[in-house]
Structure 1
Amino acid sequence: MKNILLFGAGKSATCLIDYLLANAPRQKWHITVADSDLMLIKSKIGKSYYATPAAIDIKDQAVRQQLVQETDLVISLLPPALHIVIAKDCLKFSKNLLTASYIDPEIRKLEKDIEKAGLLFMYEMGLDPGIDHMSAMKLIHSIEKKGGQIFCFKSYCGGLVSPESNDNPWQYKISWNSRNIVLAGTSGATYREKGKVKEVEYQQLFDQSKTIQVPGLGKLAYYPNRDSLNYVDVYSLGNIPTFMRATLRYPDFCEGWNALIKLGLTDDTKKIDTNNMSYFKWASQNIKVDKQLSNEENIAQFLGVSSKSKLVRQLKFLGILNGDLVNQGEQTNAGVLQNVLDVRLKMEPSDKDMIVMLHEIEFERRNMATKLHSYMIVQGEDNLRTAMAKTVGLPLGIMAKLLLSGNLSLKGLHVPVMPEVYNPVLRELEEHDIRFEESFE
């Protein structure tokens, strides 16, 4: 029997665990789920014969390495900063590793060692990054095989609230790690448009007027995501004139988030003492407050809007314009905001989320320009089996099956852009209603 070790039992792990347990009898594998929260693990694995809970402190090297040593495959859904710890353990004990997180400079340093050890470390094997790479490469390879020359590539993806659960002024609810939401975009963005490299600072990133039409949903706002140009060579698109990867949101979210940035509430660099500090004092720490005005009027004046505006309604909804006390001790603004969002924008048990992904590829073939649209919409079942959990977890599960069945000879540090990975993974994802629709202009 093969053994799979999964680090992390959080929001994104639910559907992965379901998949691994459903396939365990046929595939003859056993799953150990390691997390600091024993009750959380048990809530995910139930009383399955094929799963074992392991409540551990990830910093306990002896316990952690014992688990790694005893397994055949490691999957990590830990916070990104902890992947390098698991990666080094996997290298030490010659174990293959799968994760949904981005390749970072730390893991790049181990690239030659991973290859020399004959191991496979597959990173970016989730949704975005993950399904975006696989679906894009399938399209790119198909176009190029038919003699098409690609001159514009744009890829968009967003985790959104499903229309029937879209009932707050932010048009957003949290279906994944809220810290990632708070810090999204802080490094700014870089992309290429019509041959020119564009760099956007964080302070301007959400100041959005750009929208895109999505079939069945209407207009969604988008903002460029990280450094898109890191993927030009990964996708083998060389000096393509236009190349951009972007994040999708409902327009109201981008407008509201831009206000939070202007207020300095997403800053994660310095800590402040929040004890006995009111939420309004916290929210207005960068404002010269006029005591003759109401809280709403002070904030509105700073943002240059009416006190009856949608932006002020959004901030009131978060509960940060009142006199309630923060009382979170020494905390960064981003930390306070994360706690606020966890309460105010949480998904209720009956809520559903939604994933939207869209590729726009313009290419020329036989002197004729063509625009290809390929899009995917996935809806969650409830607040546990979310669209986010499905689209992050299922590619990892399918990849685990590919690897443990011996059908993959790939070695080294990779992201899933090769046909021997994306073809079987995308094919099986369709069995779970995760599929793309295509149209041409």
Structure 2
Amino acid sequence: MIRSSIIPRLSLRNTNMTIVYRRDLTTLGLRREDPKRVWERRTALTPEAIRTLLKEQKEELQVEVESCGRRCFSDQLYAEAGAKIVPSLSNDVDIVLGIKEPPVTDVHRLIKAGEKVGKKRKWMMFSHTHKGQAYNTPLLASFLHPTQGQTLIDHELLTAPSTGKDGKPSRARVAAFGWYAGAVGAGEALSMTGVAMLKRGIASPLLHLPRPYALGTLAEFKASLRKCGEIVRDSPISGAKGQEPIVIGVTGAGNVSNGAKDMLEELNVEWVKAENLAGLKDAPTNRIYACMIPTSSYIVGKNGQPYDRTEYYQSPDQFKSTFAKNIAPFLTTIINGVGWSSSFPRTITNSDMSTLLSESGDKQKLVAVQDITCDKEGTLEFVNQFTTIDQPYYEGPGGMLISSIDILPTELAADASAHFSSKILPYVKRALFAEVEGNKSAEDDTLQKAKIVERGELLEPHSWLLPKVESWRSSDPSTAAVSAISQDGFTKASGSGGKKKILLLGSGLVAGPAVEVFAARADVQLAIASNNLPEARALIKGRSNIQSVSLDVGDDAALGATVAASDVVVSLLPAPMHPQVAKHCINHSKHLVTASYVSPEMKSLDQAAKEKDVLLLGECGLDPGIDSMAAMRILDRVKREGKKVTSFVSWCGGLPEPSASDVPLRYKFSWSPKAVLTAAQNDAHYKLNDEIMTVQGHELLSRHFPKVELWPELPLEGLANRESMPYAEKYGLGEINGLKNLFRGTLRYQGFSKLLESFRKLGLLRGDPLKTVPESWEDFLLLSASRELEHDKLIEGSEVSGVISNLLGNEKVEHEALEALQWLSLLPSATSPSKAASIPLPNLKSPVPVDYFAHLLSNKLSYSPGERDTCLLHHSFTLSSPTDPTRAETVTASLICYGDENASAMSVTVGKTLAFASLRVLDGKVKSRGVRGPYEKEIWEGTLKSLEDVGVVVKEEWN
């Protein structure tokens, strides 16, 4: 087929002629799976899907299919669909598509040939690299620099916005084999159970149930299950002494478990609840019983408290499994669909299994275990081997049969492939033609999140894998799968000498995304200095260019020595500590970057910093940070176009996503709670509707803006944000007299300010210490409220309602405050459904109410697993033109950033902004010296560009 050159094509739209240029012919390559995987018969796209693709893109697409006699669809079917059958993919291929990871030698061949002609290529597969799997490090290294232009898209990471079972926003896999793994796993488990029962001297109809691969199709497999179920029901009830019915237990609640459940339904099992398993001992033997086993039936608190999902995911180490004691003794077979991570309790430990066997002797009921998750020594610790379709099980503890096959769906290869193909096809289309069409869709976002490597570089959040690749490349080539030598197009990673050194002070809530950015740079050595060493070490994740340092910032000598060893210092410490750090930076001629406002104390160091050629750069977070950078980008254009700003109104805020906001204050904390509480008591100074306003800190909450209409779906209110007036000079807006509005505000959900004002009136936000150290949370409320009265008498618990009424003076406000205080377990003898009373009082140097309250809220109003936060930013400028002063132009800039399972939106917008700005300083791209904010183009332009590259985009509209 002749590849087309760039050909202009004319089209008419709205009577205006436009020219659309068609790029070179695009080639999709469907590869054969690794020949060593004898049973892998699946395919990523069926012949029918290929036919559809070619029909839709018949002038722009060709498809190459590597010949394979093992694949579930024949070469002939693909040829009839219009594909070109080839012995191996050619250099023309733009996208290489497959199921499992290919042999590294095949990858090298294509890459090496493509680089000779500058070929950029995308690879789509289940690569098994994003978790740092050591055995596939050579594969990951193949796609990375010095390789050019390779992009790796992992099927496992293709996720789209969804709604979780709890009704909250989440992301769900769009192309997976989980259901088929569960369905086939159930078939294997049942067949294996028949064999296991025979070993016990019992012949069950399950013995004659064909394994799924022997039937070939899902329909035939279901039919065989139904027939087997009929035989079981028609069998006579056994009269043998001690013979019990077969009981199947299924763990998990996802697609895997649902696949198993659906097949058991075809078998016509009788479903029972977990609490009724013990009663099945004498049930009829001509029935097969099954149970979907919920986590709540076997996970309990170590202190005896019942299972609570939120608490379990927050503190899994406080829970244990009773499965071996309360569930396993009553099961014949376990079908495990629950994955495992090391921080969670195992379902059955080796010790549990030993106890189970010792208590039952050689007569334990459990005879078969099918671990569909294939977590070796994972949630079922005794499962310590993988098995294959050829050898599906091995004999485990107590003689039970155990199966752990990692390619179960291939037993029903055609059906599983058809399902997967239908799901993956839209994303293959987008990967092929998105750049040509030049438009965006939800599928683009899905593809972007699934990229591990793009154009030879690791993307976030996968940068932590780079040290693993470097370590592999620097190892003995004879031990590597493919030698990292120059003639193969690969070079060994350079040594660690000469790296640029960054010192990160602090390891708290926003540190993670900053660390990810720094770690992605192979030429950077990062030291995380913290007084919480375990927290700092947790950020390393095995990366060789990061180290942790134990540091008490109060030890001035140690701080100075640590600063002296760095090139650039990045501080996540509380703002009052920055002047101390800055003085050491000046003494040792080191640059400093922070996310905090430039305080008067910091500003006083300006001249000293200039004299030592040092930059002290502040306000590089979200607010302050992205807000100022986005404003300066707009104002740069305003200046170039000779226009004038007549109004500037800005709002910014970090909030829980609406479905996670049904709590007091409608707020949850993704950054410092104390900072939120103190910010709500700052003085404010601004101009609105040509009137200059001053608000004292103690009035700020009561003088909030009750309705801020920016996004229709969000019921927002606002608070004035400190000093707005200096921004006329900072941003270069001109004289304040020439501005109708100059306002910066903080966004909250409606109801926040009234309730927090109640807490303020009760003394919970005060910064001066109590006279007495509270002994409980109820005592804390009583001590704080007592001090707000005009006498020193300590109120009793029975008096608290009257005191609250007296201090708040409004029946509705009082009622809302009482409900919130009870929810927080601050009222005497109150009970809280979230057990906040179990949170211990912090051991403070001084009994300051705001510190106690911040500690309580940080625990009580924390995000649960699966909940997301969001960061909002909205600027509105009004401009006048020098040629037509009567014509007003409106410009807006807006950002909505959602957190995900890897990081909160607040930590991303603050941490990554800080990191990207710091790297510009480290690389010598910022020439300014002294105390600065992000107002120079050399700072904001590159930082905003880096943020956009990782998906944090401020959208502008000029009207």
TM-score relative to the length of structure 2: 0.44
Distance 1:205 1:387 in 2: 26
The secondary structure found in structure 1 opposite 2:729 is coil
CA distance in 1, matches of 2:784, 2:552: 35
- 2:626 is aligned, of 116, 131, 138, to 131
Match of 1:345 among 851, 861, 872: 861
What's the CA shift for 1:6?
0.7
Report the secondary structure of 1:214's partner residue: coil
| Alignment partner of 1:190 out of 646, 669, 685 | 685
Report the CA distance shift for 1:407/1:292 in structure 2 as closer, same or farther (over 3 A). Answer: closer
- 1:321 is the counterpart of 2:815: no
Note the 1:170-185 alignment, pairs <5 A. Answer: 170-185=665-680
**Distance in 2 separating the partners of 1:171 and 1:266:** 18
Aligned length: 437
Change over 3 Å in CA distance of 1:88–1:279 after alignment to 2? closer
Among 476, 486, 506, the residue aligned to 1:8: 506
User: Counterparts of 1:67 and 1:222 in 2: how far apart (Å)?
Assistant: 41
1:279–1:401 Cα change, 3 Å: closer
Q: Which residue of 1 aligns with 2:148?
A: none
Residue of structure 1 aligned with 2:518, choices 11, 16, 20 = 20
Q: Does 1:423 align with 2:941?
A: yes
Moved more, 63-72 or 50-59: 63-72
8 Å contact kept, 1:158–1:249: yes
Provide the C-alpha distance between the structure 2 equivalents of 1:210 and 1:181, rounded to a whole number of angstroms.
Answer: 18
Q: Which residue of 2 aligns with 1:262?
A: 761
* Residue-by-residue CA offset, 1:298-343 (whole Å, 9 max, x unaligned): 5346421248843432232222223479966751221221122122
**Distance in 1 between the 2:797 and 2:865 partners?**
43
Q: Deviations over 1:359-385 (max 9, x none)?
A: 111121222012222210111114x61
The answer to whether the 8 A contact 1:115-1:412 is kept is yes
- CA offsets 1:329-358 (integer angstroms, 9 cap, x no match): 751221221122122212223322111011
Structure 2 partner of 1:399: 917
Confirm or deny that 1:212 pairs with 2:713.
no
Say which SS state the counterpart of residue 638 (structure 2) adopts: helix
Deviation at 1:290, TM superposition (A): 10
Which position in structure 1 is the counterpart of 2:595? 100
Offset of residue 193 of structure 1: 2.3
After superposition, what is the alpha-carbon deviation per residue over 1:223-255, rounded to whole angstroms, capped at 9, x for unaligned?
Answer: 111111122211112323321111111112112
Amino acid at match of 2:851: G
Contact persistence 1:188–1:200 (CA under 8 A):
yes
Distance 1:306 1:164, change over 3 A: closer
Cα distance between partner residues in 2 of 1:110 and 1:209: 37
Aligned to 1:284, the other structure's residue is in SS state helix
Match of 1:221 in 2: 717
Equivalent position SS for 2:946 = helix
Amino acid at match of 1:248: L
Q: Note closer, same or farther for the CA distance 1:55–1:294 as it changes in structure 2 (3 Å cut).
A: same
Matched, 1:432 2:432: no
Match of 2:804 in 1: 299
Structure 1 residues 36-73: Cα deviation after superposition (integer angstroms, max 9, x where no partner): 01100011112210011101111223322222112111
Match status 1:387 vs 2:905? yes
Whole-Å separation in 1 of the counterparts to 2:861 and 2:606: 39
> Relative to 1, partners in 2 of residues 1:175 and 1:291: Cα closer, same or farther, differing over 3 Å?
closer
* Change beyond 3 A, Cα 1:93–1:308: closer
Which residue in 2 is equivalent to 1:234?
730
Query: What amino acid maps onto 1:229 in structure 2?
Result: M
Q: Which runs of 5+ in 2 are unaligned?
A: 1-498, 831-836
Judge which range, 118-127 or 201-210, deviates more: 201-210
User: Relative to 1, partners in 2 of residues 1:159 and 1:307: Cα closer, same or farther, differing over 3 Å?
Assistant: closer
In the alignment, which residue of structure 1 is the partner of 2:559? 64
- Say which SS state the counterpart of residue 278 (structure 1) adopts: helix
User: Which of 11, 29, 38 lines up with 2:533 in the alignment?
Assistant: 38
CA contact (8 A) 2:770 2:783 kept: no
State the SS of the aligned residue for 2:819.
Answer: helix
Find 1:162's aligned residue among 657, 663, 675: 657
Q: Which runs of 5+ in 1 are unaligned?
A: none
Residue in structure 2 matched with residue 333 of structure 1 by the alignment: 849
Report the 3-state secondary structure (helix = DSSP H, G, I; strand = E; otherwise coil) of the residue aligned with 1:233: helix
Q: What is the Cα deviation at residue 221 of structure 1?
A: 0.7
Q: How far is the alpha carbon of 1:280 from its aligned partner?
A: 4.5
2:952 aligns to what SS in structure 1? Answer: coil
Q: Which moved more, 1:291-300 or 1:176-185?
A: 291-300
Aligned ranges for residues 83-94 of structure 1 at < 5 Å?
83-94=578-589
Q: C-alpha distance in 1, partners of 2:813/2:769?
A: 30
Partner of residue 783, structure 2: 282
Cα pair 2:774 2:783 within 8 Å, conserved? no
Match of 1:273 in 2: 772
* In the alignment, structure 1 residue 120 sits paired with structure 2 residue 624: no
Task: Confirm or deny: 8 A CA contact 1:159 1:356 kept in the other structure.
Answer: yes
Q: Does 1:78 align with 2:577?
A: no
> Are the equivalent residues in 2 in contact too, given 1:357–1:376 (CA < 8 A)?
yes
**1:174 Cα deviation after fit:** 0.8
Cα distance in structure 2, aligned partners of 1:9 and 1:415: 23
- List per-residue Cα deviations over 1:200-234 (Å, max 9, x = no partner): 11222112343222225333111111111122211
Report the 3-state secondary structure (helix = DSSP H, G, I; strand = E; otherwise coil) of the residue aligned with 1:6.
Answer: strand
* Inter-CA distance 210–238: structure 2 relative to 1 (3 Å threshold): farther
The CA distance in 2 between the partners of 1:194 and 1:55, in whole Å, is 52
Higher strand share: 1
Output the CA distance in 1 between the equivalents of 2:561 and 2:872: 40
Letter in 2 for 1:246: G
Question: What residue in structure 2 maps to residue 48 of structure 1?
Answer: 543
Q: What secondary structure does 2:539 align onto?
A: helix
Would the alpha carbon gap of residues 44 and 148 (structure 1) be closer, same or farther in structure 2, given more than 3 Å must change? Answer: same
- The change in CA–CA distance for 1:396 and 1:323 in structure 2 (over 3 A counts) is same
> 1:283 touches 1:320 (CA, 8 Å); kept in 2?
no
**8 A Cα contact 1:114 1:413, kept in partner:** yes
CA distance in structure 1 between the aligned counterparts of 2:724 and 2:752, rounded to whole angstroms: 22
Percent identical residues: 26
Does 2:524 correspond to 1:29? yes
Give the distance between the partners of 1:54 and 1:103, measured in 2 at CA. 27
Residues of 2 paired with 1:426 and 1:254: CA distance?
A: 32
Q: Which has the larger radius of gyration?
A: 2
C-alpha displacement of 1:185? 3.3
C-alpha distance in structure 1 between counterparts of 2:502 and 2:878, whole Å: 42
Call closer, same or farther: CA 1:323–1:16 in 2, change over 3 Å: same
TM-score, normalised to structure 1's length?
0.92
Change (3 A) 1:307 1:227: closer
| Structure 1 residues 216 and 33: alpha-carbon distance in aligned structure 2, compared to 1, 3 A threshold | farther
In the alignment, what sits opposite 2:892? 373
Distance 1:306 1:287, change over 3 A: farther
Query: Which of 136, 143, 149 pairs up with 2:644?
Result: 149
Residue in 2 that maps onto 1:361: 877
Contact kept, 8 Å, 1:160 with 1:354, in 2: the verdict is yes
Q: CA deviation at 1:287?
A: 5.2
Q: Highest relative contact order (Cα 8 Å, sep 6+), 1 or 2? A: 1
